[in-house]
Structure formats: structure tokens, C-alpha cells
């Protein structure tokens, strides 16, 4: 997908590095949303001078519910997807993607560290560690590619690819799952 001058949305933008890269490299108009106000303040202080980049403090689902904007691509790098109930978040994402456009997201692989993938749609308990080492308790939906495909399909999205990535430092188990989907 050619990202030049496209409208992009990042769900869980953190300090804004990915959004800033896309805005400067491709001239994309990027909106980054993050639940943690400190992260948004950091993003604004680093990249606020870029006029094609906007950072919003708030919950990803609430942002989508309140917005009428449509995007050429929505992405999440270990962000809101997997941390918000997929039966709520994925349909909201689908409503804001233009037809034929892309959703891409990375989540921790459900088998990392020898874990067993979830056998149902309930979240597991986990923690997210912020840059200041604060640990926030979270609910995490840890699905394998097949279960993500079912949730994507229910939301009107088509699974284009699911890739597993390994980090040799963490043994034989995959550590990351990268999903790409398209709006039907």
C-alpha cells in the first residue's frame, strides 16, 4: 500500500515514534491515540511541530465512537488491539476504514514463553510496563491467528496475512503475531 498523503490512525501510539515516522517519510496525515496522557504529552513535545500529525489522549474505542473520520489504514503496534474487547473494537475499526483499506496490528504471540493459546474469547490478566517502569494491570485477548480471523470476519474484515516472529533470546517459541486485514 502506498502511504503517501494517506489518512492513518494509530491505536496506542505511545510516545509517537511510529506516527511521526509515517508523517515525515510519507507525508501521511496521522492521528495517534493513546490512553496514557503522559505518552501523549511526550509525543506532542517531540513531534508537535509536524502539522500533519495529531495526538489524542483517550481510549481507542471511545475515540472511534466519537469520530466520524474515515482512514486509509489503521494500525496498532502492541497497542489497543488485544487490550480492548475485540467484539467491540474491531467493528468500530471497520466502521472507520474505507472499503478495501488496511488494518495492521502486532500483539504478543499467545504461545510466547511456552504458553497455551486461549481456548475461549475471555481475556487473560497481564501487565503493561510503561517507560517509567510503572506496571499497569490489563486484560489481554491472546488469540491465535484462527481466532483473530473469526473476530475480524465478524467485524467485516478479511484476514490477509498472519505472521509469527521469533526472538532467539526467548527460546523456540514465537514472541509476536503480526496480523494484516482488509475491509471488505
The pLDDT tens digits of the residues spanning 67-101 come to 999 999 999 999 999 999 999 999 999 999 999 99
Cα separation, 17 vs 111, whole angstroms: 28
Which domain covers residue 81, as residue numbers? 7-183
Question: Is pLDDT of 104 > 80?
Answer: yes
Tell me whether residue 2 is in a domain.
Answer: no
CATH number at residue 48: 3.40.50.150
Cα separation, 148 vs 102, whole angstroms: 15
> Into how many domains does the chain fold?
1
Question: Is pLDDT of 170 > 80?
Answer: no
User: For the whole model, what pTM was predicted?
Assistant: 0.93
Q: What share of the chain is helix, strand, coil (3-state, %, to 5)?
A: 30, 40, 35
Tell me whether residue 55 is in a domain.
Answer: yes
The per-residue pLDDT for 86 is 98
Tell me whether residue 15 is in a domain.
Answer: yes
Q: Are 13 and 79 in contact (CB under 8 A)?
A: yes
Q: Considering just the CA atoms, what is the radius of gyration of the chain in Å?
A: 16
Cα separation, 152 vs 182, whole angstroms: 9
Q: Which residues lie closer than 8 Å to 159 by C-beta, 6 or more apart?
A: 145, 148, 149, 152, 153, 179, 180, 181
The per-residue pLDDT for 35 is 94
The per-residue pLDDT for 168 is 81
The per-residue pLDDT for 134 is 87
Beta pairing, strands 135-140 & 174-183 = unpaired
Tell me whether residue 26 is in a domain.
Answer: yes
Which own/partner pairs from 19-24 qualify as long-range (CB within 8 Å, at least 24 positions apart)?
Answer: 19/43, 19/47, 19/53, 19/55, 20/46, 20/47, 20/50, 20/53, 23/47, 23/50, 23/52, 23/53, 24/50
The per-residue pLDDT for 126 is 86
The per-residue pLDDT for 39 is 93
pLDDT (tens digit, 9 = 90+) per residue, 106-143? 999 999 878 887 788 999 888 878 778 889 899 999 99
Tell me whether residue 1 is in a domain.
Answer: no
Tell me whether residue 59 is in a domain.
Answer: yes
Question: Is pLDDT of 176 > 90?
Answer: yes
Cβ neighbourhood burial of 63 (10 Å; 0-12, 13-18, 19+): buried
Which is nearest to 85 in space by CA: 155, 134, 38, 16?
Answer: 155
Q: Which residue(s) pair with 33 in the sheet?
A: 11, 56
Cα separation, 11 vs 71, whole angstroms: 12
Amino acid at each position: 500500500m502506498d502511504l503517501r498523503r494517506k489518512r492513518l490512525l494509530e491505536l496506542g501510539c505511545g510516545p509517537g515514534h511510529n506516527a511521526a515516522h509515517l508523517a515525515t517519510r510519507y507525508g501521511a496525515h496521522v492521528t495517534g491515540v493513546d490512553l496514557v496522557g503522559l505518552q501523549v504529552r511526550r509525543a506532542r513535545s517531540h513531534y508537535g511541530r509536524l502539522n500533519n500529525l495529531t495526538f489524542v489522549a483517550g481510549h481507542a474505542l471511545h475515540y472511534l465512537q466519537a469520530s466520524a473520520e474515515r482512514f486509509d489504514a489503521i494500525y496498532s503496534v502492541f497497542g489497543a488491539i488485544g487490550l480492548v474487547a475485540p467484539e467491540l473494537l474491531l467493528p468500530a475499526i471497520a466502521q472507520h476504514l474505507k472499503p478495501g483499506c488496511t488494518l495492521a496490528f502486532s500483539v504478543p504471540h499467545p504461545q510466547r514463553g511456552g504458553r497455551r493459546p486461549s481456548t475461549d474469547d475471555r481475556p487473560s490478566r497481564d501487565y503493561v510496563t510503561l517507560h517509567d517502569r510503572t506496571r499497569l494491570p490489563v486484560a489481554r485477548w491472546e488469540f491465535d491467528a484462527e481466532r483473530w480471523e473469526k473476530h475480524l470476519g465478524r467485524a467485516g474484515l478479511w484476514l490477509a496475512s498472519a505472521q509469527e516472529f521469533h526472538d532467539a533470546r526467548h527460546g523456540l517459541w514465537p514472541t509476536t503475531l503480526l496480523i494484516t486485514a482488509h475491509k471488505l
